[in-house]
Structure 1
Amino acid sequence: MGNAWWNLTLRFLLELAALLGLGMAGWSLSEGWWRWILAIALPLVAVVLWGTFAVLNDPSRSGRAPVPVPGAVRLALELVILCGGAAGFYLTGHAAIGIVMALLIALSYAVSVDRLAWLLRQ
């Protein structure tokens, strides 16, 4: 289930971009003190979910799973967070960045067919 170094780097950068997009959405789509809360809470919740719910023995994550979940659940979580970040860019007036991010997410998963198959078998 080896991924090329460039795809692992891309996935990491997409994860960071998703956090930024979620934070931007929290800031832009709310007002007053809510914008501070949501700008911090949305990325923080995403980080906690990403780090907590994992597939046991997932080689792309050190094998540890604080809260083991089926592969389909993990895949759905990843897609919600990554696509949520892309949507955050899109909805806050950065449509081009959101679209490019969505295309890069699709590319990353397209070259990770072995990981997708493994997740769906778990």
Structure 2
Amino acid sequence: MMGNAWWNLTLRFLLELSALLGLGMAGWSYPAGYGRWVLAIALPLAAAVSWGTFAVLNDPSRSGRAPVPVPGAVRLVLELVVLFGGAAGFYLAGHAAAGIVMALLIALSYAFSWDRLGWLLRQ
């Protein structure tokens, strides 16, 4: 698994789940009405579908399968948009501390993933 420690893989998984929650909370913070329901469901669903669909072929941090193969740089941008989008979602939903802590944890996770970042950018 390209040298990623168990704690970083666990952190990454928790950040992925937190991103979906943050995106849902951002949608729910939309003014009352049907729009908030649509956004609260659509934002995390779109993120989860994109996360599972667009992948780098033979990515050792995943199953290796890629329903829609993309270059590593595209995958990295997708990851950053989803993860930091979730952090921004917490912030925008009125949970600024959670959003800031999440953003710092995302940076920490990637700081300990230089090998994976290099691999992604070479693909």
TM-score band by shorter chain is over 0.9
**C-alpha separation in 2, matches of 1:31 and 1:82:** 26
**C-alpha separation in 2, matches of 1:30 and 1:49:** 26
1:64 corresponds in structure 2 to 65
2:13 maps to a residue whose letter is F
**C-alpha separation in 1, matches of 2:31 and 2:46:** 17
1:9 corresponds in structure 2 to 10
Q: CA deviation at 1:2?
A: 2.2
1:119 corresponds in structure 2 to 120
Q: 1:66 to 1:87 in 2, by over 3 A?
A: same
Deviations 1:64-121 (A, max 9, x none): 0000000000000000000000000001110000000000000000000000000000
1:95 corresponds in structure 2 to 96
Aligned structure 1 segments of 4 or more residues deviating by more than 6 angstroms:
none
1:43 matched to 2:40 = no
The percent identity for this pair of structures is 85
1:106 matched to 2:110 = no
**C-alpha separation in 1, matches of 2:85 and 2:32:** 20
**Structure 1: unaligned runs, 5 residues or longer:** none
Aligned length: 122
Give the TM-score of the pair, scaled to structure 2: 0.97
**C-alpha separation in 2, matches of 1:110 and 1:39:** 31
